[in-house]
A and B are shown apart, each in its own frame.
Chain A
Amino acid sequence: MAMDTDMNQVLMLDGNALAGLLADLFGADVTVVPAKCAACGEVNEMGALHAYVRAPGSVLRCPICGAVMMRIVQTDRTTRIEMRGIAYFRFETGG
């Protein structure tokens, strides 16, 4: 999947930029968590995914194939997470 416009390239951030939001959602820092892209099968740390945050929601894309891996939309009262683009991710929960 190709990026459509130069603007997308200019606005792209790293998954690490969503560290605070992701930690709110998962209760832990997941930026070094390996995540497998459901489209191409590549495994990258969450912090290395490409992040797009200047929209009504936040989008994480695979840095290899560009497929959408996660979408997060928040309103005042609800959080909606879609992550069918992630085959799995795995993180330590202590103990």
Chain B
Amino acid sequence: MARPLDWQLATVAGVRDETDTVRSFSLTLPAWAGHRPGQHVDLRLTAEDGYSVERSYSIASEPERAPEVDITVERIADGEVSPFLHDVVVPGDRLEVRGPIGGYFVWEASQPGPLLLVGGGSGVVPLMAMLRHRARNGAMNPTRLLLSSRGPGEIIYRDELDRLAATNDGFEVVHTLTREQPPGWTGYARRIDEAMLAEVLEPLDREARVYVCGPTALVETTANALVRIGLAPSQIRTERFGPTGT
């Protein structure tokens, strides 16, 4: 069994489009120690001249799917890694991966109590691992996901989130669409703010565990607002991915 810090050659088992700019890759790992929902992997690309570049990607799949793990990657136009993954990588290719990494931004079904997940764009990815794990384990704890997306076509995992919410196991999804709303849209249509968070939190207990992942500005706004609403900083775990993610 490889240790998490050892690089191993993963095989791309499948590729799936989530939106026009977001794609999921299923990786089969030869020696996977198992992960916890919310953890990430490091991925390394090395050119023939030896130049190499690393990126961290959140694991999207639940641990129960091991030794296959999914990563979901947004194509960043001027990025070094994501355009390669999107434009070049096909099933059967091999990628250097190590992990799982990072035990801080982790939720497991063994942790009872209400759960609030807040995501911005591809910040939903580690939260999805938690939700898939939660569903797989039959957890019934009250859980809400507030997901901010630019428009209806940019909601990652939209159909699966709807299916999960339809199972009546205590999970609800709340969308806000910040730039473009479909005709007849009755949901939120603005960036996440304190009033929105107060409304989404209201059905949950004030003792809820909170996980926030997205662009740094969204995470800052959310974490600060939740503290003003009265949550303790120790209830809130954050994963900032910078201006847009890379």
Residues of A within 8 A of B (CB): 9-17, 19-20, 23-24, 29, 31-32, 45-48, 54
Q: Is the CB of A11 within 8 A of B5?
A: no
Q: Is the CB of B5 within 8 A of A16?
A: no
Q: How far, in angstroms, from A16 to B42 measured CA to CA in the complex?
A: 13
Q: How far, in angstroms, from A45 to B191 measured CA to CA in the complex?
A: 29
Q: Is the CB of B105 within 8 A of A47?
A: yes
Q: With both chains docked as a complex, state the minimum distance between the C-beta of B10 and any C-beta of chain A, in angstroms.
A: 16
Q: How many residues of B contact A (CB 8 A)?
A: 22
Q: Is the CB of B101 within 8 A of A14?
A: no
Instruction: Return chain B residues, CB-CB under 8 Å to A9.
Output: 216-217, 220
Q: Is the CB of A16 within 8 A of B102?
A: yes
Among A11, A31, A32, the one with the most B-chain Cβ atoms within 10 Å of its Cβ is A31
Q: How far, in angstroms, from A17 to B220 measured CA to CA in the complex?
A: 16
Interface check B23, CB cutoff 8 A: no
Q: With both chains docked as a complex, state the minimum distance between the C-beta of A70 and any C-beta of chain B, in angstroms.
A: 15
- Which residues of chain B from 1 to 56 have any CB-CB distance to chain A below 8 Å in the complex? 4-5, 40, 42, 54, 56
Interface check B243, CB cutoff 8 A: yes
Q: Is the CB of A23 within 8 A of B105?
A: no
Instruction: Return chain B residues, CB-CB under 8 Å to A31.
Output: 102-104
Q: Is the CB of A20 within 8 A of B56?
A: yes
Q: Is the CB of A11 within 8 A of B243?
A: yes
Instruction: Return chain A residues, CB-CB under 8 Å to B98.
Output: 20
